Structure 1
Amino acid sequence: MDFANQIILVSAGLITFSIFAGVLSSRIGAPLLLVFLAFGMLAGEDGPGGIVFNDYGVAYFVGSFALALILFDGGLRTSRETINRAFGPSIILATIGVVLTAALVGLAAKFLFGFGWAEAFLLGAIVGSTDAAAVFFLLHLHGLRLKPRVAATLELESGVNDPMAIFLTLALVGVAVHGRNVADVSDALDLLWDFLWQMLGGLFFGAVGGYAVLRAVNRLQLSSGLYPILAGALGLLVFAFTQSAGASGFLAIFVAGFILGNNQHRATTEISRFSDGVAWLAQIGMFLMMGLLVTPSALLPILLPALGVAFFLIFIARPVTILACLWPFSFTPRETAFISWVGLRGAVPIFLGTIPVISGVEGAEVLFSVAYVIVLASLVLQGWTVPYAARLAEVELPPRPTPNRRVELDLPAGKGKSVVAYTVDPMSLLLRRGVNRLPLPMGTTVISVMRDGVVRTEGFDRGVEPGDVVMMLTTAEMIPTLDRLFGARRMRGQAKEAGMVDFVLEGSASAALVADMYGLAFEAEERELTLEEFMRSRLGKDIKEGARTRVGGIVLAAIQVQDGSVRQVGLDLDPPQEENLLTQFRLRWRAALGALRELFIADDPRGPF
């Protein structure tokens, strides 16, 4: 009994203190996952904690469980739009890219460590994939917004490349332990069949399981608190069944989460929040455990050559792989460089490093230690600099305005419909237009407006005031758009961020329909065009991303341009006013006088002269 209580005490204490340490470290920009990993090392046998943990079997079991939960949450949050934007480049990176990275790193490991070829390429396979947890959370934790195609490529690559790394690791473990000869035709065919079954089986079981989870959530009448537990349990069932069938359970659970997250279902908010919390817990537990597993004193003898492999991976192997895989997809040099830099390694390489140890590969402890050093180097060097790299590569977008307060209520019988209540911010776009004139997203209906405790269900033409509570019926996918409407657009007197738009529309949309919805003053002949045709008529054939044209008091911007065609058009309902030089001079002069007044007069208790 005392032993069980001590386990609970130590586990809860580690998680609690690591969270507090993460909160403090975030103020200096440290990657949160690095903090969890370092905290686990401090709690280990070489640190002040003195906890001895060297059970690789338990680490593999817990790591599999945690990674499955993380990938399920990643699938829930991956939209169809992300798949459409980045399917080609992400799949190439997740397959050919992992193989090429593993081969290049294997060559470096062979030279720096003198490993046998099987062990050298095994190390390459272990660190060959980017880490979904590291990428998802470093891109989203601080609200970093990237160009849509760049963000989609990074997120989708990290979500689907783990199965390839796992397959390569298991295949090379078989070569190292059982002496399988890949040059032999029968062994090569066996490996090819294993690969096809891993990928295709994972996709099949994930799709079937995902729709089974969706049907169960929508058909069963349960307490609202049970739906998230049901979804998570069924997702793990899909993972375990697929693994038992010899296919990739990690790919299957990602696909199951994707299907659930992109179809209407009950308890959307509860499932999303529960999955987010469980994914956080899984990551904290996974990184702490991997930190406990390593012995820092064992890293010292191999530190320098391991850092050499890490730098080779970051500065040579990853860039070469990205250039080779992305050249057919028309990424700009800056976008390619940024995608190359965000090749983050996290807990997955450490988790994969336990497989050779469990399988009895000779020198496997060294492979595990080298993988650990590579992960630390990646999180410190790349993870710490992701925001700065995004600005340098010019792929960062302005942050979206966020609502002051938002309350959501799922409708169990509404199949994805939610009632959302927003408190109107003093700097919200709503204050510039009446509710009945606001371009609300499709499928959104205003139910009521409450002011000073009095509910109003009509007369919306009178507009709203700061502090009013607006209640609407909408769908989950429209909530980010509503966030932009109800959030503070900018501080008073602050210039509008370059490139910021309020809505993103498809270029194939009818100009007449858009004009009627958003109150645009198109000419009669322009109403017959699509938005793509309208933009080309205004801006010419050689349109560049970011090109803008004004229609009355509204600006249309080319957000996504491919092969000369405008695929997406941004709508800026509150563009900065065009100012002549005299007006700009007057504004700057007033700002300078205001600054002088604050400096010399505002703090004087006697007030102004």
Structure 2
Amino acid sequence: MDQLNILFFVMALLLFLSVLASRLSARLGMPLLLAFLGVGMLAGEEGLGGIKFDSFTGATLVSQLALAVILLDGGLRTQFSTFRIALKPAAVLATWGVVASVAVLGIFATFFLGVDWKLGLLMAAIVGSTDAAAVFSLLRNSGVRLHQRIQASLELESGLNDPMAILLVTMLISLIMQPQETTALSALAMLVQQLGLGVLFGLVSGKILAWLLARIPLAEGLYAILVASAGLLVFAVCNIFGGSGFLAVYLAGVMVGNARNSSTEHVLTVMDGLAWLAQATMFLVLGLLVTPSQVWETMPSAVVIAAFLMLVARPLAVYTSIKWFRYSRKELAYISWVGLRGAVPVTLAIMPLMSGVPNASLLFNVAFAVVFLSLLIQGTTIPFFARKLDMVLPEKPEPLDIREVWLAKKLSVTMQSFQVAADSQAEHAHPYAMTREPKFRNGRLFALIRNGENVRVGMNTQMQQNDIAWYVLPEEAGESFAEQFAGGELSRQEQEFYGEFVVKPDAKVGDVAFAYGLQVPEEVAGKTLVDAFREYFGDVPVAGDKLYWDGVCVTVRELDEKSNIQSFGLKMPKKEDTEKV
């Protein structure tokens, strides 16, 4: 019993210290995942804790379970609009992009490390795919508002590329251990089986689970347990039948998350905590598993391999995959840079060890070092390069908080709060005056909070700076309503990014050119701005999409909830930013 209590004590203490370390990590600008990894290494055999943990089976079990939970949570928060925006390029990145990256890196590793070509390709396959846990965590907590198409491409790629990485690792292990039984045809059959069953199990199970959530009344706390257990069930069953459990659980989460009702709202809050617990536990265990001295011995080689992966293999894979989808040079550069490696490569690196592949310990240590360097270098510079490459959209006015009160299974009332900024329309105005515009006529003041206390609203009440006003307001009206509470700084940021002039979406390109003295190609002069943008970017434009004509930049400024463009911004760009169309 004492040993069991000691185990509980150690596990709880490590998790507690990891969460506290995450605050320091955030202040230093390092990814939170590194804090969990660092605590595990410090507690390990060669660290201060001296804990000896060498169970690769246990580490694999924890990692697989944690990744399933993380992908389920990521799917729950992925909107269908994300697929409309970036499914095609993300799918190419998740298939051909992984193959191209593995091929280029594998050839380099074979000659650089002086190993057999099969071992070189295996090492490349282990680190060849981006990691969903790292991408979801670091992009969504980067502190910058990324261009939506770029973020969608990166998140979908990380959620979809595991089947290809697992296939390549499995095939290469088989080629090393059982060369006579491994053929290109068997590899292709395995890929089709993994992808096909993953998609089938994910979509069907997701639909069934969403249907159950909408019809089965449960205590609020049980909905998240139902979804988490069902997700793990889908993951396990799909794997048993030879499909990709990772793909299946991610797609199941997407189906459930987009079938919004009172049950799914209860699920999201709890799943967020479960996903953080899964990430913390997974990186703690991987930190305990690794032997720092062995990793340090391989660090010089790992630095070269990581550098080649970041600066050569990944950019080549990205360029050959999605250049044809009209991404700009800067967008390609940013997608190349955010090729984050995380727990998946370390988990894949355990497979050769368990299969008895010669020199498997070298693969594991190099993979771990590459992951550490990726999180340290790429993870810490996500916001910096986003700003440097103009991937950041200006902060937009938005509600301070949003709460939904569900009156029935599919009927809810949305309450939104807004903080009064200095020099805003709301400052010194009556709270009721904010809902006078026709488009806000359904809004109702719920409460006015000042210095943490409720203010009784009378005929002469005026809002002051930093007051928080709560309104019952349709969710889709929140951002435009928030403009009344925003100060001049946000307006200046928007003007700097979009330009001083606002242009209507139905304006003809030729008319805009005539008004501003521009020269535009004859083939676009007769088209409306909306048609020109949709022809170039596809049917789902996003805020921040840009076209340049005769040195003038036209940018999508505002869209409605159905992705219809409402307005464009027009400005003279800097010379170095100009890209002719």
Which of the five TM-score ranges fits, normalised by the shorter chain? 0.7 to 0.9
Q: Which residue of 2 aligns with 1:314?
A: 310
2:408 to 389, 413, 431: 413
Q: Which moved more, 1:375-384 or 1:444-453?
A: 444-453
Matched residue type, 1:114: G
1:416, distance to aligned residue in structure 2 (A): 6.3
1:532 equivalent in structure 2: 505
Corresponding letter in the other structure for 2:134: A
Structure 1: which 5+ residue stretches go unaligned?
503-520, 523-530, 548-556, 579-609
Query: Residues 384, 424 of structure 1: CA spacing in aligned structure 2 closer, same or farther, 3 A cutoff?
Result: closer
C-alpha distance in structure 2 between counterparts of 1:539 and 1:464, whole Å: 42
| CA deviation map 1:24-48 (0-9, x unaligned) | 1211211211222122111111111
- 1:50 aligned onto 2:45: no
Partner residue, 2:320: 324
Q: Distance in 1 between matches of 2:205 and 2:496?
A: 40
Counterpart amino acid of residue 570 in structure 1: E
Q: How does 1:64-213 map to 2 (within 5 A)?
A: 64-180=64-180, 182=182, 187-213=183-209
The aligned counterpart of 1:560 is: 545
Question: C-alpha distance in 1, partners of 2:567/2:328?
Answer: 30
Any residues of structure 2 matched to 1:413-452 within 5 Å, and which? 413-415=408-410, 417-427=412-422, 434-437=434-437, 439-440=439-440, 445-451=442-448
Structure 2 distance, partners of 1:195, 1:574, is 44
Greater alpha carbon shift after TM alignment, 225-234 vs 279-288: 225-234
Distance of aligned partners of 1:559 and 1:144 in 2 relative to their CA distance in 1, 3 Å threshold: closer
Asked if residue 278 in structure 1 is aligned to residue 274 in structure 2, the reply is yes
Between the aligned residues of both structures, percent identity stands at 37
The alpha carbon displacement at 1:450 in A equals 3.5
Aligned to 1:510: none
**In structure 1, distance between residues paired with 2:104 and 2:159:** 22
Report which of the two structures shows the higher radius of gyration computed on alpha carbons: 1
Q: Once the 2 structures are TM-superposed, how far is the Cα of residue 134 of structure 1 from its aligned partner?
A: 1.2
For the structure 1 residues 257 and 463, does the alpha-carbon distance in structure 2 shift closer, same or farther, using more than 3 Å as the test? farther
Contact 1:269 1:408 (C-alpha < 8 Å) held by counterparts = no
Q: 1:371 to 1:558 in 2, by over 3 A?
A: closer
Cα RMSD of the aligned pairs, angstroms, is 3.5
Letter of the structure 1 residue corresponding to residue 259 of structure 2: N
Shift of 1:454: 5.5
Contact 1:44 1:51 in 2 (8 A): yes
| Residue of structure 2 equivalent to 1:367 | 363
Matched residue, 1:11: 11
Query: What secondary structure is seen at the aligned counterpart in 1 of 2:446?
Result: strand
Gapped regions of structure 2 (runs ≥ 5): 449-453, 514-523, 533-541, 560-564, 572-581
State which of 448, 453, 463 in structure 2 corresponds to 1:465. 463
Partner SS, residue 420 of structure 2: coil
Q: Bigger CA drift: 391-400 or 317-326?
A: 391-400
For the residue of structure 2 that corresponds to 1:419, the secondary structure is strand
In structure 2, the CA distance between the partners of 1:494 and 1:408, relative to structure 1 (3 Å rule), is: closer
Cα gap change, 1:98/1:369 in structure 2, threshold over 3 Å: closer, same or farther? Answer: same
Tell me the amino acid that sits aligned with residue 14 of structure 2.
L
Residue of structure 1 aligned with 2:558, choices 550, 566, 570 = 570
Question: Could you tell me whether the CA contact under 8 Å between 2:398 and 2:479 is conserved in 1?
Answer: yes
Which range moved further: 406-415 or 388-397? 406-415
After TM superposition, give the deviation of residue 393 of structure 1 in Å.
Answer: 0.7
Closer, same or farther: CA 83–568 of 1 in aligned 2, 3 Å: farther
Q: Per-residue deviation at 1:275?
A: 1.2
Report what 1:351 is aligned to: 347
**Structure 1 pair 315–206 and aligned structure 2 pair: CA distance change class (3 A):** same
Alignment check: 8 A CA contact 1:69 1:278 kept? yes
Cα distance in 1 for residues equivalent to 2:490 and 2:230: 49
By how many angstroms is 1:300 displaced? 3.0
Deviations 1:103-129 (A, max 9, x none): 111112211222222221111111011
Q: Helix, strand or coil: the match of 1:115? A: coil
Q: TM-score normalised to the size of structure 1?
A: 0.78
Q: What's the offset of the Cα at 1:254?
A: 0.5
Question: SS of the counterpart of 2:545?
Answer: strand
- Matched residue, 1:392: 388
Mark the CA change 1:424 to 1:317 in structure 2 (over 3 Å): closer, same or farther. Answer: closer
CA distance in 2, matches of 1:239, 1:567: 42
C-alpha spacing 1:138/1:499, structure 2 compared with 1 (3 Å)? farther
SS, match of residue 47 in structure 2: coil
Number of residue pairs matched? 525
**What is residue 517 of structure 1 aligned with on the other side?**
none
Superposition deviation, residue 358 in structure 1? 1.4
Separation (CA, whole Å) in 1 of partners of 2:299 and 2:543: 49
Change (3 A) 1:197 1:482: same
SS of residue in 1 equivalent to 2:493: coil
- Please give the TM-score of this superposition, normalised by the length of structure 2: 0.82
